[in-house]
Amino acid sequence: MPKTYCYLPQKTIDDIEKIQVDDNYGSMSQTLKELIELGLQTYASKNTNPISTKSDKEADLRMKHTTYMLRMIGITSDVLRCVFDKNKIDGAHNNAEEQLAHIKNKVDHYIDGYIND
């Protein structure tokens, strides 16, 4: 693999080192490789996709809002189902937080599957 060298300001180096520590990267070169690949993907998508119009942005926002509301309704209905019918509770969870996390995960998978189909 060819090597590339560049000079960076100290603040940029500090920011990259912070990312390396925060995301548990093994080496600085791995961190830089992923940052550069992400930057290239962003650059390519910016050049291939025209700037969104206001109506496109509004439609995207409505879709995100609808998705969020579907998730909230799904979680709420599953929680109520468990409250009113004790047999609906999965016995594998020891406390309410684990049960709620399980319900949220189940609803997220369902909504993601619905949106992606």
HSE on the CB side for 1, CA within 13 Å?
A: 4
* pLDDT tier, 50 (very low <50, low <70, confident <90, very high otherwise): low
What is the per-residue pLDDT for 49?
A: 66
Residue 73 or 3, more confident: 73
H/E/C letters for each residue in 55-98?
Answer: HHHHHHHHHHHHHHHHHHHHHHHHHHHHHHCHHHCCCCCCCHHH
What is the per-residue pLDDT for 90?
A: 67
In whole angstroms, what is the distance from residue 50 CA to residue 39 CA?
A: 18
Domains of the chain, by residue range, sit at: 10-48, 54-116
User: Does the pLDDT at position 53 exceed 80?
Assistant: no
Mean pLDDT, rounded, of the chain: 80
Tokens of 93: 């969870």
Q: Enter the DSSP assignment of 50.
A: P
